[in-house]
Amino acid sequence: MADLKTTFAGLQLRNPIIVSSSGLTNSADKNKKLCEAGAGAIVLKSLFEEQITMEADSLRSSEYAEGNDYLVDYVRGHKLVEYIQLIADSKKHCNIPIIASINCYTDSEWIDFAKQIEEAGADALEINILALQTDRDYKYGSFEQSHIDILRHIKKVTQLPVIMKLGENLTNPVVLIDQLYANGAAAVVLFNRFYQPDIDVEKIAYTTGDVFSVPADLNTPLRWIAIASAAVDKIDYAASGGVHSAKDIVKVLLAGGSAVEMCSMIYQNSSACIQEMLTYLEGWMKAQGYDTISQFKGKLNAKDVKGVTMWERTQFLKYFSSKE
C-alpha cells in the first residue's frame, strides 16, 4: 500500500489534501466531518482584518468620541474570542493539523492576535495578504516589503509555523519567497484568488463574478511552484486554485509541491470527493512504482533555474508552431 504522508510547514500530514479557508471550515462540526472524510489538514475560516475594522468603524459615534476606542476594542476582542473557541473545538474533534488563518493588509498591532491563536492550540498560522496596488504614487517593491514586515512582526509574537499565502500580482514570486524563507516562513501557498467582479448590463451595476475556481486556474500556481521549488528548495509549497481532480494533485507534487489546498471542488461535489482523490493517488503511485510521495515530489520542477526563461519560450514556440 502506498504511503500518502507528506510534510508541509513542518507538520506531518496523513495525505496532501488541505481544505482551504472558506465557509467549509467555519465550524467545529463541519471540520469534524472533513476530518472523517479524509482531509490531511484544515485551514480555518479566516479572521479578516478589514472586515473587523469596518464593523468597528460602523459603531463609531461623533457624539460619544470617548467611547469609540472601547467599541473598537470590544469588536476585535469579541471576534477573537469566537475564533479561539473555533480553534479549541476543532482541535477537540479532529486528529489532523488545524491551521488558523488571518487575512490582513497592514502591519499593525492587530497581528498580535497570533500569540493568542497559538495559545488556543492551533498547529500553524496561515497569513493572507491580498490587495491590489492602484495608487499612482505607489513605490515599487513596497507591496512585497509589506509581506516581509508582517511576517517579521508575527514571528516576534509566536512560535507557530507561519504559512504565507500569496496573491499572483507579484513581479517575481521567487525573490519574495526567498526573502520570506530567510525571515522564518515555513511554507508558501500559491496563489490566493481575488474575488472576481462583474457587471450586470441590465441593471447597469456592479455584481460579483464566479466564486468557484476552474481547472484552468491551476496553470499559474503549477508554473510558479515548478520554478520556485527549484530556486528556493528549503521551504514547502502548496497549490491553491484550480485543483479539481486527483490528477491535479499528482501534477502539483511532480512540480515540487507538498500539498494542495482545495475548496471549490468540495463545495461542488461534497467532501466525498476527498476519498475518491486519495484512492486515485494511491493507485497512481502503485502503478508508477512509487511507495512514498518523496520519491516523485519535484521530479518535474525547473531544476535548471537559469534555463527557465529559455524553457518557457521553447514551449511557447513548440505550442504555437503546431497551430495553423
Distances (CA, A) of 159 to 6, 41, 319: 21, 19, 47
Quote the pLDDT of residue 257.
98
The three three-digit cell numbers of residue 8, written as one number: 508541509
68-93 and 28-36 helices, crossing angle to 10°: 30
Domain 6-321 CATH assignment equals 3.20.20.70: yes
Would you give per-residue pLDDT tens digits along the chain (324 residues)?
Answer: 899 999 999 999 999 999 999 999 999 999 999 999 999 999 999 887 656 655 555 555 555 455 555 555 666 667 788 999 999 999 999 999 999 999 876 777 667 788 889 999 999 999 998 776 767 776 888 889 989 999 999 999 999 999 999 998 888 999 999 999 999 999 999 998 777 788 999 999 988 888 888 989 999 999 999 999 999 999 999 999 999 999 999 999 999 999 999 999 999 999 999 999 999 999 999 999 999 999 999 999 987 666 566 556 656 656 655 555
Domain residue spans of the chain:
6-321
- How do strand 187-192 and strand 236-240 relate by DSSP bridges? parallel
Residue 29 CB burial class (10 angstroms; 0-12, 13-18, ≥19): exposed
| Spatial distance between the Cα atoms of 177 and 159, rounded to a whole number of angstroms | 20
CA 318 – CA 320 distance, rounded (Å): 6
